[in-house]
Amino acid sequence: MTEPVSVRLAEAAARPDADRAGESALLAEVATILLANGQTSEATHIALARLGHAFGYEVEIAIAWGVSTIRRDDESGVQAVFTEPSGVDISRVIAAESVVDAVCAGRLGVGDATRALQVIGTRHPVPLFRFTAMAAAGAAALGVVFGAHALLTLGLIALLAGAGAWLRRALSHLSGNPFLQPFAAALLAGTGGGVIGMLGLDVAQRLVVACPCMVLVPGPHFLNGVIDLVRGRIPVGLFRLAFASFLAIAICAGLLIGLAATGTPFPDSGPAHPAPLLLDVVAAGVAVAAYGSFFNMPWRSLPTLIGVGMLAHALHWALLAAGASLQLGALAACLSVGSLIAPIAERLRLPFGACAFACVVSLIPGVFMFQAASDAVAFTGLGLKAPASMLVDLLDNVVTAGLVLSAMGIGLVAPKIILNALWPVTHRPAGADRDRR
């Protein structure tokens, strides 16, 4: 039977100051690690509430970009914690949630838990070889999904994407600027694609320059921002969306500057040859595996995401083959992913945004985004001399990309919000976690 709140508050107040200080440090470590590595704001709040309940008091957190505040209803007052939700590392989130489970179940003390979290926070990112190889494989898989079949085209896509991944990792040791890495990788893709165009190689140049950049798209930040806005966390939601937007701008800028350095415009689209269903679904599975690797997901967890992603892409392929629009196909596929990933992510305490986006990365309208950016630059350069057809093309690409992204956002987020409303997740007494599993 649950103890009355007054009893739990009295027990919490009777604890030595050293114990309460240790609990505060643990709460701060949990909030910092979860938010910094892609966990949703709601899941972070639930983890802190569970810890607070295990310690005998209620915990609330006001999440912000920069400094979040943790409030306890005992006599400890308000605690400020530095939080910057700019990274995604599923392995760290899983490890941190496991520590929370152990503390709530009474299997781990506060001091040991804090030290374990400090070790988790210093874990190395995904190994360089896996990061580079999966970037190459993922970009080539996207090339297959968007109609590239020639081995030379796929090989060049993989080469530019792999080189971009290596460059990103090298730059991560030189600067902590989150925009530098995607900008540099896109710059390399644009420059390399421009050189390939100058050599006159018989390849799908549009996909050669676009696919290495599509593996850079910051989908998890976009989804987490949308979830925050829907839940009423307006400031942090806007910050997340602004961060994702600036990352996308950095990618577009790098790509276009690289092309401009070689005197090459963004390549025109060639004839589209959709892949057969089996090849399309397998390629989508490879893309999911690549994104899961970028986010440092343990190998044992990847098959679940791959299966969901392949199922969603098969649905998307079937709808397009039946004559559905890109927007409707994306909405239906993302609704299926959101409905499946939401309970899986809650059950396994995985970051929803990273897992959901990995499953639908092959639906990102990257080509339309890059073409819109190229058209905008060209339109601005011509000014009043720009033909009306250029404006029409620009608006068409912007609207298409915007509608597909909106459909994806709605499709992924709506099932999670609905499921959480029907079966709300609340904090549980210490030890209930094992029963729940």
Read off the pLDDT of residues 163-193 as tens digits, 9 standing for 90 and up: 999 999 999 999 889 999 999 999 999 999 9
| Among candidate residues 82, 91, 74, 87, the one with its CA nearest the CA of residue 11 | 74
Confidence band of 429 (pLDDT split at 50, 70, 90): very low
pLDDT tens-place string over residues 12-34: 555 555 577 888 889 999 999 99
- What pairs with residue 61 in β-bridges? 70
pLDDT of res. 9:
46
Region at 387 (left for phi over 0; alpha for psi -120 to 50; beta for the rest): beta
Between the alpha carbon of residue 426 and those of residues 45, 49, 346, 421, 429, the distances in Å are 10, 8, 11, 11, 10
Confidence band of 3 (pLDDT split at 50, 70, 90): low
Average pLDDT over residues 98-127: 91
Look at residue 350 and tell me whether its pLDDT is greater than 50: yes
Asked if residue 209 lies in contact with residue 189, where contact means CB atoms within 8 angstroms, the answer is yes
The alpha-carbon radius of gyration of the chain (Å, integer) is 23
For 319-328, 394-403, 423-432, which range has the lowest pLDDT when averaged over its residues?
A: 423-432
Look at residue 432 and tell me whether its pLDDT is greater than 70: no
The span from the CA of 26 to the CA of 113, in Å, is 7
Single pTM value for the model: 0.88
Beta strands in 245-353 (DSSP E): none
- 116's tokens: 């374990």
Average pLDDT over residues 113-126: 90
